[in-house]
Amino acid sequence: MTDQITDQQLDEYEALARNATLLGADIASPGVLVRLAAEVRRLRAVEQPPVDRAALRDRIASAVDGVFDAWRQGLGPIRPQDALADAVLAVLSEVAAVSLLPADQTALPVAEAKDRLRGMALTLATGEGPLVEPWAFNQALDDYQAAVAAAVLPEPADRAADWRAAADLVEAMNEGYSRTGCTSCAAREDAADGLRDTARRMADDTQQGDPTSHQPRRGDEFERWLKSQRDEHRDTGNGVWTTLDNLLDQYRLHADTGTPLGEHVCEGRVAGDCECLEQPAAGAQQDGAQQ
Residues 197-209 pLDDT 10s: 665 666 566 555 4
Is residue 286 a part of any domain in this protein?
Answer: no
pLDDT at 246 over 70: yes
Question: Residue 204: its pLDDT value, please?
Answer: 63
158 assigned to some structural domain = no
Contacts of 287 (CB under 8 A, 6+ apart): none
Residue 32 forms part of a structural domain? yes
The band of 247, judged by pLDDT with boundaries at 50, 70 and 90, is: confident
Nearest Cα neighbor of 87 from 126, 119, 48 is 119
Task: Please list, in sequence order, all residues whose beta carbon lies within 8 angstroms of the beta carbon of residue 197, skipping any fewer than 6 positions away.
Answer: 167
Q: What is the pLDDT of residues 171-195, one digit of tens each?
A: 555 555 454 444 445 555 555 565 5
> Among the ranges 46-50, 116-120, 153-157, 234-238, which has the highest mean pLDDT value?
116-120
Model confidence band, residue 253 (pLDDT cutoffs 50, 70, 90): confident
Distance between CA atoms of residues 210 and 233, nearest Å: 34
The reply to whether 8 falls in a domain is yes
Q: What's the confidence (pLDDT) of residue 226?
A: 72
Mean pLDDT of the chain: 59
Note whether 125 and 181 are within 8 A (CB): no
Query: Is residue 260, in this structure, part of any structural domain at all?
Result: no
By residue range, what is the domain housing residue 93? Answer: 1-99
Report H helices in the chain.
Answer: 7-22, 30-44, 53-72, 81-99, 108-126, 134-150, 156-176, 185-208, 221-232, 240-257, 282-290
Work out the angle at residue 166's Cα, subtended by the Cα atoms of residues 28 and 99, and round it to the nearest 5 degrees. 100
Share of the chain above pLDDT 90, in %: 0
Domain count, the chain: 1
Work out the number of other CB atoms within 10 angstroms of the CB of residue 81. 18
- Contact yes or no for 169/39 (Cβ under 8 A): yes
In the predicted structure, residue 218 carries a pLDDT above the cut 70:
yes
**Average pLDDT value for residue range 222-236:** 74
82-86, 101-105, 226-230: least confident range: 101-105
How far is residue 83's CA from residue 208's CA, in Å, rounded to a whole number? 39
- Name the residue with higher pLDDT: 186 or 25: 186
Whole-angstrom CA distances from 35 to 114, 153, 168, 174 are 13, 22, 9, 10
Structural domain contains residue 155? no
Residue 2 in domain: yes
Predicted confidence at residue 79, as pLDDT, reads 54
Residue 277 lies in a domain: no
